[in-house]
Amino acid sequence: MKVKRIESIRVRRDVFGGICYVPHRDDFFALDHESYDFVSSFNGDWSDVPRNRERAASSLAKLGILKVEPSIKEIAYSGPSFVGRFNEIPTVSLPLVVNCFCTAHCPLSCKYCHADDLMVNFRDEESLLDLKNVVSTTNQIDAMVAVITGGDPLTRPDRANFLLENIDWKKALVLDTSGVGDILPLVGILKDRNVHVRISLDAISRLNDETRPINRAYISDGLTSREYAERTIAVCLSNGIPVTVQTVICNRNENESELMDLRDSLADWGVRHWVLHIAVRGGKARAIEELAAKKHLRKRGILPSAEVYALVNNIIDKNHTRKIPLDIRCTDTENTPNSVLLVGSRGDLYTEGLASNSKVELYNCREGRPDKLKANMHFVDKFGHARRYLNWNRWLARGEDLERICYKVPSIGSSEDSVSVVENEAKFSVKNVGRLRSVLVELGFTIEIESFQRDEYFDTSEGRLSELDYVVRLRQTENSVEAAFKGPRSYGEGTYARIELEIPTCGMNETREYLKHKGYEPVWFFEKRRIRFNHPDKSTKIYLDEIPNVGFFVEIEGTNIQISEIQKEISKHISKPEMKNYRDLFLDFQETQGVDRNTIKGAEFGTG
């Protein structure tokens, strides 16, 4: 298989691994370390990939991150945008998105407008100087994506063109529009800069025109906002410009039939990306809510009901069942309003207030102090910022932990055995060795190695390592000698983890002499027969160990989730988790046989 990275994607390393932005999907993905390193190993040129990495490459190609030959079709993905292993939402080190206003003019009077306070007071005197400040502020923010918005960029296409030409080319660009206006003058540069266009459409019926009415002071040709949106969608699709349709769900269109009709139309047109925004209490929506409460109206305000998340889940489920090739994402900033960066049409930087009912100014470009641009960035909620753009919502996750619903990548592996800094394992005594081996084979595991091992453990004469739960071990097999250094254990439910370093050594005698020189002496030896099982698509490692006199045990190494999954599959053939190490298990058994444990120096086959 040949693999390359799609040239237009943006990648950025972070403490948890990294971020990948896929422009043609307008999707961010958080990648764990293994996935990020794998993606970063490719560039825009074709390269061969080892067979044991082909499944990983194919899974990432399905998200549009990599391209493979033979080619593979991208999938519609509506889950949280976390690739690999995550048990919590990471905090991104730098912004993902900055929204910059092209203009404060808007041809619509949307009932729930969230940005009206950044437009009304700034419409009269928009100048080229202001637009240059928008570019300057936007370019100084270390975001991966710049969204050109407003107002509506199609109201002032000359200003939109200026931003498209002058915003830093390292940033991916998105044009955010209602579709009202004329997009044709921008088609050329939209294609040149690989811009993704988001077009707002709340319904395929007249309801769209009720929630998003045309402001006839701008548009007087009699067309409705729905007709304009449909026309702009068609222009983009016919010119190969990637499109997302975004729908704000308020209490007017909080109707499954209405939304499903819209979904069917999008699929018929060839739209592949649909974003559902839950209307929040901000801007005009706040005023409507307050008025409704004041007048004690039965049908209050504009915001959707608490059942809106169940509605969205139902739509996603039906979309999946019918296998409609449409991504569905959902955003809700009600709990984290101060997670969005907004550059106003004059170049000032804002975020949505958390303690106030308006935008919070973070930077005023007219003060002539660009060195202060990032001084107030602490007002922005980085955790909420990641949550917003990585498609995570606790209600939409239906109570599932993130770790269970991440996008799983088959084990990337390598041509050699991988080394992990942390050993996380669970140990179980085996009831039926034959059935256990059969079940592992049925699960796709194969025997990788069968070996006889002799372990020797070392400590100071005072036993300091044992007191602190440290381990220094030499392991001899038929073909190698390996030294291991292990830190103290931390315990979970049936598992324990510890930092571990394993390295090959020159030989047993030489290493014993070296350890003796450093003040370590042998305190225990242990023999066992071990079978290692591997799986072609899983990083989980399973060891079947025969212990002298005691019997058989199985060790499972992997994440807690992986260990739990395997444990369930083999539960009939194993006992409860065993938290003691093999030495203590052997000594306990010998005591039951009347042997004084203090006289035992080791465990070996063929002894009583």
pLDDT at 473: 96
**Rounded distance between C-alpha atoms, residue 91 and residue 519, angstroms:** 45
Alpha helices by DSSP H, 322-443: 382-389, 402-405, 433-442
Give the up-direction half-sphere exposure of residue 505: CA atoms within 13 A in the CB hemisphere: 21
Please state the rounded mean pLDDT for residues 477-499. 89
User: In the 8-state DSSP scheme, what is residue 412?
Assistant: -
120: pLDDT strictly greater than 70? no
For the ranges 68-82, 214-228, 433-447, 552-566, the lowest mean pLDDT is seen at 214-228
pLDDT in tens, 279-317: 776 555 555 555 656 656 545 677 878 888 899 999 999
Mean pLDDT over residues 453-474, rounded? 94
Partnered with residue 534 across adjacent β-strands are: 446
d(CA 324, CA 232): 22
Q: ω into residue 70 within 30 of 0, thus cis?
A: yes
- Confidence band for 412, pLDDT divided at 50, 70 and 90: confident
Q: Token digits for 552?
A: 């058989």
Instruction: Kindly state the average pLDDT of the residues 259-288.
Output: 83
Question: Can you tell me the mean pLDDT for 369-379?
Answer: 83
pTM summary value: 0.70
Least confident of 319-323, 335-339, 501-505: 335-339
* pLDDT of amino acid 415: 37
| Coil, strand or helix at 536 | coil
- Confidence at residue 418, expressed as pLDDT on a 0 to 100 scale: 43
Residue 38 is encoded by which pair of tokens?
């794998």
* Selected residue with higher pLDDT from 107 and 30: 30
Instruction: State yes or no: pLDDT of 121 exceeds 60.
Output: no
Does residue 417 carry a pLDDT above 50? no
Bridging pattern class, strands 66-69 and 551-557: unpaired
Across the chain, mean pLDDT equals: 88
For residues 29-41, give the mean pLDDT: 94
Local structure of 350: helix, strand or coil: strand
DSSP state of 508: H
Please list, in sequence order, all residues whose beta carbon lies within 8 angstroms of the beta carbon of residue 366, skipping any fewer than 6 positions away.
133, 346, 347, 348
Average the pLDDT over 333-344 and give the result.
Answer: 77
Range name among 294-308, 408-422, 463-477 with the lowest pLDDT average:
408-422
Residue 520: other Cβ atoms inside 10 A: 18
DSSP string, 59-76: HHHTTTSEEEES------
pLDDT above 90 covers a percentage of the chain that reads 60
pLDDT of residue 286: 56
pLDDT tens string 195-238? 999 999 999 999 998 888 888 877 878 899 999 999 999 999 99
pLDDT reported for residue 211? 85
pLDDT tens digits, one per residue of 96-106: 999 999 988 88
* CB neighbour list of residue 289: distance below 8 Å, 6 or more residues apart: 281, 300, 301, 302, 303
Confidence of residue 180 (pLDDT cuts 50, 70, 90): very high
Nearest residue to 5 (alpha-carbon basis) of 42, 32, 41, 33: 42
Q: Is the pLDDT of residue 371 over 90?
A: no
Answer yes or no: is pLDDT of 30 > 90: yes
> Closest by alpha carbon to 247, among 235, 236, 262, 257?
262
pLDDT given for residue 438 in this prediction: 94
